[in-house]
Amino acid sequence: MPIFKGLIVEDSEVQRDVLKDLLESDDEIEIIGMSDNGQEAIQLAAQLQPDFITMDLQMEGMDGLQATRKILKSQPIPIFVVSASENDEVVFKALSLGAIEVISKSDMSSDNASHLIQKIKKVLRSEK
Whether 91 maps to a domain, the answer reads yes
Q: Please write the tens of the pLDDT for every residue from 78-108.
A: 999 988 777 788 888 999 999 998 887 776 6
Report the run of H or E that residue 79 belongs to, with start and end: strand 79-83
pLDDT per residue as tens digits for the range 38-50: 999 999 999 999 9
Residues 6+ apart with CB under 8 A from 6: 23, 29, 30, 31, 32, 50, 51, 52, 53, 54, 120
Q: Is residue 51 part of a domain?
A: yes
> Domain count of the chain?
1
Q: Could you tell me the residue range of the domain that residue 30 belongs to?
A: 4-122
What percent of the chain is helix, strand and coil (3-state, nearest 5)?
50, 20, 30
The model scores a pTM over 0.85: yes
